Structure 1
Amino acid sequence: MSSSTVFGFAFNSEELTSSAITQNTLAEYNGPSPLVQSPNFYINMLQNKYAEKLDASVQDMENTDLYAFIDQWYGTKYAWGGTTQNGVDCSALVQNMYREVFKTDIVRTSYFQHDMSTEVSKDSLQEGDLVFFKTMGNRISHVGVYLKNNFFVHSCSSKGVTISSLDENYWSKVYAGAGRIEKGDSTAQNDQYLAMN
């Protein structure tokens, strides 16, 4: 098993993976080397970082896999049709997140992701729900993933992968609804959707 040294402490690759550490979070750490030689230090650092961004309590940041994924992709440039960290569009970011974090296969394009999801009201939004926007005319053309306190993560043309608020003037104007996709082994529901369309 390979090992890595971070801040002077050695961790094996399994410990680093389970601790949800990413280069973005490590790069932002400017303090002294941690006194406690434990991956929990890095989990806490990740939770604190995103609790602050989302105006949430650290205790609410339970899905560390989700926030590790966001941290890994944060700042990736927008690329129409892109699917990797060299450049990604909105629906590919969502598709990658659902596959990696929620172990769920979903279709590409915001339009079809909207079509595949079950509508939920804005006041019923839960972490992991999809939020949809009409940024170009009357058709669903943009998608993000809801987090907490009206914040969502998405890949937009101006900033790449970032966190925005549904309360922001622009996003509130183009907001077109939200949807929920059953998480877990959804290969069957994905195949069923594709067969019907």
Structure 2
Amino acid sequence: MEYGWSRNGNQRCVRHRAPESTMSVSSDIRFTRRKLSRPCRGCCAALASLLVLLLLAAVAVYLGHMYLVGDPLNRQTFRGSFVVSSWGVSEGEKGNDLEPKANRTRETELQQALYNLYLNSELKSCFVSADILALDSSEEGMRVHFEVSFEPIFTAVSTAEVTAVLARALTEPTAYFSKITTLPETLHIE
């Protein structure tokens, strides 16, 4: 049995009386604590405390979202390019093959290499994504155009930091770029 209800199903605190006149008197409109019975006071107190708790929960969710979740509008995106002079040759693939299927495979491998590189770097706390935009033929080899995105929470990411991570991976052979030979001096990020 809940507050405000009697055993026969009628509410205790609701009084049905015929209106004395069609116009309300100011004393009938006023709502005071004295007019409520004891069980109805408990219901009102419980309802008021529930509303206050819901308000506090909404404020907590709002503040948590504002300060703990990064705003997508603050996303920093860096575009760059570098030249791959030679590709590692697998069994069924020639080194200078320019077929679309081979380019898709290379694009996927490069995207995964960039993703893993930045995910395991000192910038991993704010790293979001890495995408290969295009593969273009050039005199030195194949130019790779890419884009990396960061959502900095506490500090901004600079172009120098993004360049340093990739330049270190291109100059020193790492597991990420082990199948390709690059020209590190062609690296350009903006």
TM-score (norm 2): 0.22
For the pair shown, the structure with the greater C-alpha radius of gyration is: 2
The structure showing larger relative contact order (alpha-carbon pairs under 8 Å, at least 6 residues apart) is 2
TM-score (norm 1): 0.22
